[in-house]
A and B are shown apart, each in its own frame.
Chain A
Amino acid sequence: MKSFQSPAFYEFYSPVKILSGDNALDNIPYELSKKNSSNPLIITDEGVSKSGILKIVTKILKSGKIKNNVIFDKTPRDSSLEVVQELAAVFKKNKCDCIIAIGGGSVIDTAKGVRILVTNRTNNLKSLSGVNRINPSSVALFILPTTSGTGSEATQVAVISDNQKGEKMLFVSPYIYPDMAVLDPRLTVTLPPKLTAMTGMDALTHAVEAYTCTQKNPVSDAFASTAVKMVFSNLMSAVKNGSNKKARMELANASLLAGIAFSNSMVGAVHSIGHACGAVAHIPHGHAMSVILPEIMKYNFKKSSALYGELLLYAAGAEVYAATPEKERGTKLIGFINTMKSELEKKCGLSMLLPSDIFDAKMIKSVAEYAINDGSMLNNPLEMTVAQVEKVLKNCVAK
């Protein structure tokens, strides 16, 4: 069965320096000095602050003679325009020269938003939303992810909510890439099992979509396939035993690799529908990814079955791959993902379906209409109409 074919043309770009492993945090003062930065604005949230992670980081900064850091630990669950504007003012007032983000997706997106505002010398963030509208930045941005899923530490994307208008503003530009991604087991070891499961499924979705969507290329494939292997080998271990540092680090790296992959090859319909589920029905992103991924794999199967078959090698290992007839490998991969979802539901309560009390016919239609206008839909292997998205969603809702 013929599957891989290099695209007629592709580009790949990933300028983020990666520090990964034991005591990676301890290298931050040195790396800051290499960026001629000594006065960071630290952006985080209350959860990180209470978990003791913030204390570890500030102690390391202090030991590296970086004393004048300004700390903001009130980042909301969804990064908001107001908070970004407030923090840009704090950055300027305190003459900060770099940003350190410690947290999950919203903290990282907030930090990216602050850098956009302070770089582009405007107070109107909305005027810069969209694709390729911002200028290069000289403000160093260090990302310390405390979840293993968004991959945002290695992407050129930021999403900021305009709460007054109820909109999510999307920013895409190569100038959004952070300078440094720091992965240290101390950052993720306190993540609760259900959040670990949700973010892990998000990373898996990034990898599977990066491997199969229309912008895929040989370089992104290498990152995506390795990420699939690392998620399948470590997600259940990290959910069962959160203090398993090896599994935590593998997941953190899987998330990073998947982030690098999808930032270059883009994602597809799973994310389009997932973004719509978040925006319209307020479903957590990782939960939506977990539920929708196998259903979209079935939808795309006609076009992508051979590629799914290839991923079975990374998901299940050489023995299972070799023992499975070529034509059955794609189906088997979907089966493996469903089995993992079922185990995650048993271990930590991550539901395999979307809630039926929220997803009535009207909600399904609204989500479907939103989803087909999401930019990720452009990269899905097969085109989708509103009716086809509705059909997929109906299969995802609890009966």
Chain B
Amino acid sequence: MDEFLIKTGFALLGRAAGAVSKYDQDVAGELSHWKEGFTVKLEVFASGAEVALQVKNGKYHYLKQPVDKCDLRVILKNKKSAAKIILARLSLAEANAQNRIIIEGNTMDAMRYVRTMKAIMAYLYPFFMLRNITEKMPRRTIQNFKNKIRIIFIGVIAGKEV
């Protein structure tokens, strides 16, 4: 059950990432600091589940196939922790605080990655779930609502590259 949940959740995160990096200026700003082709991977130890994102034209591009080489690697030590993250019961920052993840790479890159993942989750999850994983709730503006609709319908449901 955990495995199915994690793989589905990772696929949703991957599909949403491209759209979020197009429509959210803050995320686009974070990605502008990374070189073209910069690859970041979130994986679960010994499970094969992973979500790898590559920077292309200043946006996240979801790599559907497993990747060996990456610039930043975030490893969740077990499936239970990964499931908690997918269910928004644990943030990446909390997972780090509880030694549930291992980061391999530059810490500044890791900070940017954590912020972009948080932004992606803010578009994917309803407000009542977000309260568990963020101190500052996203502002409920018309622009944010429009972005959320685009990200869910174009990125996640249609799975279109933007």
Q: In the complex, which residues of chain B have a beta carbon less than 8 angstroms from the beta carbon of A373?
A: 108, 111-112
Contact: A130 with B98, CB < 8 Å? Answer: no
Contact of A372 among B99, B100, B111, B136 (CB under 8 A): B111
Q: In the complex, which residues of chain B have a beta carbon less than 8 angstroms from the beta carbon of A345?
A: none
Contacts known (A214-B97, A383-B136); A132 close to B102, Cβ less than 8 A: yes
CA distance A378 to B96 in the complex (A): 8
Contact: B108 with A10, CB < 8 Å? Answer: no
CA distance A373 to B114 in the complex (A): 11
8 Å CB interface, B69-93 against A: 93
Contact: B111 with A375, CB < 8 Å? Answer: yes
CA distance A375 to B109 in the complex (A): 9
Measured CB to CB, the closest approach of chain A to B19, in angstroms, equals: 24
Contact of B111 among A7, A172, A377 (CB under 8 A): A377
Most chain B CB within 10 A, of A10, A11, A133, A373, is at: A373
Contact: A11 with B106, CB < 8 Å? Answer: no
A residues in contact (CB < 8 Å) with B:
7-11, 129-133, 170, 172, 213-215, 266, 372-375, 377-379, 382-383
* Residue total for B at the interface (Cβ-Cβ under 8 A): 20
The reply to whether the CB of B68 lies closer than 8 angstroms to some CB of chain A is no
Which label, helix, strand, loop or mixed, suits the secondary structure of the A interface? loop
Contacts known (A372-B111, A373-B112); A130 close to B94, Cβ less than 8 A: no
CB nearest neighbor in B for A133: B104
CB nearest neighbor in A for B72: A130
Contact: A129 with B106, CB < 8 Å? Answer: yes
CA distance A373 to B116 in the complex (A): 13
Q: In the complex, which residues of chain A have a beta carbon less than 8 angstroms from the beta carbon of B104?
A: 130-133
19 contacts between A and B (CB under 8 A): A9-B100, A10-B99, A130-B105, A130-B107, A131-B102, A131-B106, A132-B102, A132-B103, A133-B104, A170-B106, A215-B97, A266-B97, A372-B111, A373-B111, A375-B108, A378-B110, A382-B135, A383-B135, A383-B136
Measured CB to CB, the closest approach of chain A to B152, in angstroms, equals: 25
Measured CB to CB, the closest approach of chain B to A32, in angstroms, equals: 33
* Beyond known contacts A131-B103, A172-B107, A374-B108: 18 more, CB 8 A cutoff: A7-B98, A9-B100, A10-B99, A11-B99, A132-B104, A133-B105, A170-B107, A214-B93, A215-B96, A215-B98, A266-B97, A373-B111, A374-B107, A375-B111, A378-B96, A378-B110, A378-B114, A382-B135
CA distance A132 to B45 in the complex (A): 15
CB nearest neighbor in A for B107: A375
Q: In the complex, which residues of chain A have a beta carbon less than 8 angstroms from the beta carbon of B106?
A: 129-131, 170
Q: In the complex, which residues of chain B have a beta carbon less than 8 angstroms from the beta carbon of A8?
A: 98
